[in-house]
């Protein structure tokens, strides 16, 4: 998708920004027991969020491969799965773990948005449950059928390039140890990632909606909602009112937000609407389950701060490179990444570069193109 800010052009493949979409600590619901994890770069773990709701996530979400969370909701007559993993190997792990949760069939797979790290594993789920409906917003379906998903043709090659770059970075003694270690972990999973992202195909929705779609049930009803453009132009959230669980997709990513082709002003409005829901658990697109609204408030602050800095500069006629030089991002890095070298690097790579660009385009009245550079 968008170019990876700060890397050499040959390595700044469009797809790598999406690869680093998830930059969060391993999800850890208090008291939740995790299943044993096989040694595999795409391995996942499952743990219970609350009654009838489970989360399947990467054991350490800050390590590659960076793929989105998957939620499983048990209804009377089957399972609803929110997102599907970002690769065939990941999808196989998700399918295996679903069977440890319940013997019931998967009756619906819901995509929160079009980013491939949330849906490229769907084919493996459909092999096991071929009758499952695949659901998304209409806009997400259009994106999955169009140019925004073209990157999957070169995804494996882009990962191969990045693995080589990661090995080089891990060997530079002058880099902070935390940054070298992050690159080292990336390189260690290189062979499995290149193999896992080869020969990909998409599985667009068979059922779409534009505003709301209900999956009724007597014990765990699910309400799918489009609350507005935010991280993408087709974001869906899944609301389980009886369990008080909200699955946000990449509208919320913890601890580092992601901002590829986002809509800052509308994103803020969507976050404000999310805050009005009476959730006890917010399951982000990547990272830890949130049990309060502090992180949402921090994200609203960050988007508001970037708009406040970028808007006046753009309206003065400055170019985007000139605006980048004047925007102060130190407090943003401090509040999201602290002193962690890998998280500070990631903050610049997957959020700050793109969010400044999108704020600039917003202020100039330019269109935000999904999957654009």
Each residue's pLDDT expressed in tens, for the chain with a length of 373 residues: 333 333 322 223 333 333 333 333 333 333 344 343 334 779 899 999 999 999 999 877 777 888 999 999 999 999 999 999 999 999 999 999 999 999 999 999 999 999 999 999 999 999 999 999 999 999 999 999 999 999 999 999 999 999 999 999 999 999 999 999 999 999 988 889 999 999 999 999 999 999 999 999 999 999 999 999 999 999 999 999 999 999 999 999 999 999 999 999 999 999 999 999 999 999 999 999 999 999 999 999 999 999 999 999 999 999 999 999 999 999 999 999 999 999 999 999 999 999 999 999 999 999 999 985 4
Q: Alpha-carbon distance 21 to 23, whole Å?
A: 6
DSSP 169-186: HHT-TTS-HHHHHHHHHH
The reported pLDDT for the residue numbered 66 is 86
Q: Using the 8-state DSSP alphabet, how is residue 26 labeled?
A: P
Do 82 and 247 meet the contact criterion of CB atoms below 8 Å apart? yes
Element (DSSP H or E) covering residue 283: strand 281-286
The reported pLDDT for the residue numbered 260 is 92
Domain ranges of the chain: 9-151+197-304
Instruction: Tell me if residue 276 falls in helix, strand or coil.
Output: helix
The reported pLDDT for the residue numbered 62 is 72
Q: Alpha-carbon distance 367 to 358, whole Å?
A: 9
Do 288 and 250 meet the contact criterion of CB atoms below 8 Å apart? no
Residue 11 is encoded by which pair of tokens?
A: 């390595």
Do 215 and 222 meet the contact criterion of CB atoms below 8 Å apart? yes
Instruction: Tell me if residue 248 falls in helix, strand or coil.
Output: strand
Q: Which CATH number fits domain 9-151+197-304: 3.50.50.60, 3.40.50.10600, 3.60.15.10, 3.40.50.11540?
A: 3.60.15.10
Q: Using the 8-state DSSP alphabet, how is residue 351 labeled?
A: I
The reported pLDDT for the residue numbered 372 is 56
The reported pLDDT for the residue numbered 41 is 78
The reported pLDDT for the residue numbered 138 is 98
The reported pLDDT for the residue numbered 26 is 33
């Amino acid at each position: 998708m968008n170019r990876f800010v700060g890397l050499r052009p040959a390595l700044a493949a469009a797809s790598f920004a999406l690869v680093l979409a998830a930059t969060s600590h391993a999800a850890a619901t208090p008291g939740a027991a995790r299943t044993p994890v096989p040694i595999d770069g795409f391995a996942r773990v499952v743990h219970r969020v609350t009654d009838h709701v489970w989360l399947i996530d990467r054991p350490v979400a800050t390590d590659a491969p960076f793929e989105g969370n998957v939620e499983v909701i048990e209804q009377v007559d089957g399972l609803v799965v929110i997102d599907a993993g970002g690769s065939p190997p990941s999808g196989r792990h998700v399918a295996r773990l679903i069977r440890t949760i319940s013997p019931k069939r998967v009756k619906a797979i819901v995509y929160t948005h079009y980013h491939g790290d949330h849906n490229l594993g769907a084919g493996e789920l459909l092999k096991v449950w071929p009758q499952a409906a695949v659901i998304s917003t209409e806009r997400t379906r259009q994106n999955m059928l169009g140019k925004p998903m073209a990157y999957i043709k070169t995804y494996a090659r882009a990962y191969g390039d990045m693995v080589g770059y990661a090995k080089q970075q891990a060997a530079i003694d002058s880099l902070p140890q935390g940054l070298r270690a992050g690159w080292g972990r990336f390189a260690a999973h290189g062979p499995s990632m290149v193999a896992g992202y080869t020969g990909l195909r998409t599985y667009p929705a068979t059922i779409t909606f534009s505003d709301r779609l209900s999956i009724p049930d007597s014990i765990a009803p699910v309400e799918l909602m489009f609350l507005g453009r935010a991280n993408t132009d087709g974001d869906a959230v899944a609301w389980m009112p009886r369990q008080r669980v909200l699955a946000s997709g990449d509208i919320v990513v913890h601890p580092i937000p992601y901002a590829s082709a986002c809509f800052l002003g509308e994103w803020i409005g969507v976050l404000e609407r999310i805050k009005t829901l009476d959730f006890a658990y917010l399951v982000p697109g990547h990272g830890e389950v949130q049990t309060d609204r502090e992180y949402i408030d921090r994200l609203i602050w960050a988007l508001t701060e970037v708009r406040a800095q970028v808007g006046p500069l753009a309206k003065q006629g400055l170019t985007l490179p000139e605006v980048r030089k004047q925007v102060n991002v130190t407090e943003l890095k401090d509040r999201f990444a602290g002193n962690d070298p890998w998280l500070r690097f990631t903050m610049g790579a997957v959020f700050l570069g793109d969010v400044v660009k999108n704020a600039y385009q917003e202020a100039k009245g330019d269109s935000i193109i999904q999957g654009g550079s």
